[in-house]
Amino acid sequence: MSLVLYDTWSRSVRPFSPIQPGHVGMYCCGPTVYDHAHIGNLRTYVFEDVLRRALELNGYAVRHVVNITDVGHLTSDADEGEDKMEKGSRRTGESAWALAARYTGAFMDDWRALNLLPPTVWCRATDHIAEQIDFVAAIERAGYTYATSDGVYFDTSKQDDYGFLARLDRAGLQAGKRVALGEKRSATDFALWKFSPPGARRQMEWDSPWGRGFPGWHIECSAMSARHLGVWFDIHCGGEDHVAVHHSNEIAQTAAAHGTRLANFWMHGHFLTMDAAKMSKSSGDFVRLATLRERNVDPLAYRYLCLTAHYRSKLRFDWDALDAAQTALNRLRHLYVAWPAGGTAEPAFVERFETQINDDLNLPRALAVLWALVKSGLPPAVLKATVDRFDAVLGLGLREWQRPEQALPEDLRLLLAERDEARAQKDWAKADAIREQLLARGWQVADGKSR
């Protein structure tokens, strides 16, 4: 089955075909580094990592670009409030630059812990100020801007199809009904360049043709993706919360300046929920990858949990589900290390697995194929070779994993003795049940003789 993907722009699953044969350009909206990432944020990056692996599975060379937003992301989508970096600086007492460096480093640690492939390009907003100024100037030349006392804004009234990505009800966003306009002409207009407040000096500000200030959040991604991939590339990814504002504005800017909708496919991962609410930083109560480690949960167990739901469905997080993911991952790891190398992947199972992956990344069904393989009774060396093929997409790092050296706990030692007694009595059902209990606790039993 050839690869098909869901495109938010067309609201349909459609065949994927790259703009340039054999090559894929993929841009993924990265973190705003004013705080730690929570596991809801990280779910999106797991989805994007699997997407990249699926593209490579299909033989494409992927140029994968991820941005770091270290300036310009205001606390309100309506271009009100202050820059999150300045606010974070005041909260921690660090400079905005030091804050960005610290949280960028923490994000990179999380990235590696989840076995995410390193992108081709990491790009920071503060390293691309010149490109952003040039992009705003191109929009201005096209006649889509106006100035207010606090910045340069994009005039959305000049685009009949503004907000098509989100199917926005523009009539329902009339001036003054849902958003305080200030000097904006329309509720959907957005900042391209913000002026530094009069009489105040920001930590992050630059000169521009319109005055000293800093870029708007949306212009950053349009300018950086164009710089590293061109103004028409294959896939743009992000979280579902980006659809209505951030990605709609990226499209508007690029259409005005360059006449494209930026990307051929727009793909979005859905939220991680906790007690029926979206996990967010604004509540101040969010779960980090470090929180999982404190509970002795392997970060890759969280990756496994993410694989159990389709990226376009919400995933409810609870500790029981995470514990079940850890148990399943432990079982798979111990089986894998016990299997000998040297086999050849089973073509029928490979085809079944790749069919599910190519069906818009249907990971729950792909995992079902994996466990069907495990129970298939195929020779162990064939199982190992086939699981290797699967893990190139799943990214669970099975080849790299080594069982930690540790003493067998006393309760498990007693359980093992009970199993030995069951085997001596030829009670194979009981012996097999105890073997499963031990495996669920992360211990593989290797018997010296077959029965």
- Matching CATH topology for 4-269 and 298-394? no
Report the run of H or E that residue 4 belongs to, with start and end: strand 4-7
Residue 118 Cα to chain centre, angstroms: 13
- pLDDT the model gives residue 279: 64
Side by side, the strands of the sheet bearing 121-124 are 121-124, 61-68, 23-28, 232-239, 262-269
Q: Which of 106, 124, 117 is nearest to 45 (CA)?
A: 117
- pLDDT the model gives residue 235: 98
How far apart CA 334 and CA 320 sit, in angstroms, is 21
Q: Which of 178, 356, 363, 188 is nearest to 270 (CA)?
A: 363
Q: What is the mean pLDDT of the chain?
A: 91
Taking only Cα atoms into account, the Rg of the chain, rounded to an integer number of angstroms, comes to: 25
- pLDDT the model gives residue 87: 87
Window from 31-40, 249-258, 421-430 with minimum mean pLDDT: 421-430
If one compares 409 and 226, the residue with the highest pLDDT of the two is 226
Q: Which pLDDT band, with edges at 50, 70 and 90, does 396 fall under? A: very high
What b/e sequence results for 297-330 when a residue is b if at least 16 CB atoms lie within 10 Å of its CB, and e otherwise? bbbbbbbbbbbebbbbeebebeeeebebbbbbbb
Q: Does domain 298-394 have CATH number 3.40.1710.10?
A: no
- pLDDT the model gives residue 328: 96
% of the chain surpassing 70 pLDDT = 92
Q: Which of 227, 226, 235, 322 is nearest to 54 (CA)?
A: 235
What are the domain boundaries of the chain?
4-269, 298-394, 406-451
- pLDDT the model gives residue 412: 81
- pLDDT the model gives residue 439: 78
Mean local confidence (pLDDT), 318-326 = 95
- The correct CATH number of 4-269 out of 3.40.50.620, 2.60.40.10, 3.30.530.20, 3.90.420.10 is 3.40.50.620
**What is the per-residue pLDDT across 355-385, written as a single tens digit (0 to 9) for each?**
999 999 999 999 999 999 999 999 999 999 9
Which range in 190-204, 299-313, 410-424 is most confidently predicted, on average pLDDT?
Answer: 299-313
**What is the per-residue pLDDT across 116-172, written as a single tens digit (0 to 9) for each?**
999 999 999 999 999 999 999 999 999 999 999 999 999 999 999 999 999 998 776
Given a cut of 50, whether residue 176 has pLDDT beyond it is no
Asked whether the beta carbons of 222 and 263 are under 8 A apart, the reply is no
User: Between vectors from CA 227 to CA 3 and to CA 233, what angle results, nearest 5°?
Assistant: 20
- pLDDT the model gives residue 172: 64
**What is the per-residue pLDDT across 53-101, written as a single tens digit (0 to 9) for each?**
999 999 999 999 999 999 988 877 777 778 899 889 988 999 999 999 9
Q: Which pLDDT band, with edges at 50, 70 and 90, does 282 fall under? A: low
Given a cut of 60, whether residue 451 has pLDDT beyond it is no
**What is the per-residue pLDDT across 283-297, written as a single tens digit (0 to 9) for each?**
555 799 999 999 999
Mean local confidence (pLDDT), 209-225 = 96
- pLDDT the model gives residue 416: 84
Q: Which pLDDT band, with edges at 50, 70 and 90, does 446 fall under? A: low
How far apart CA 43 and CA 13 sit, in angstroms, is 21
- pLDDT the model gives residue 202: 86
Residue-by-residue DSSP string for 229-269: H-SEEEEEEEEGGGIIIIIHHHHHHHHHHHSS-EEEEEEEE
Q: Which two tokens stand for residue 276?
A: 């029926």
Phi, psi dihedrals of residue 359, rounded to the nearest 5°: -90, 70
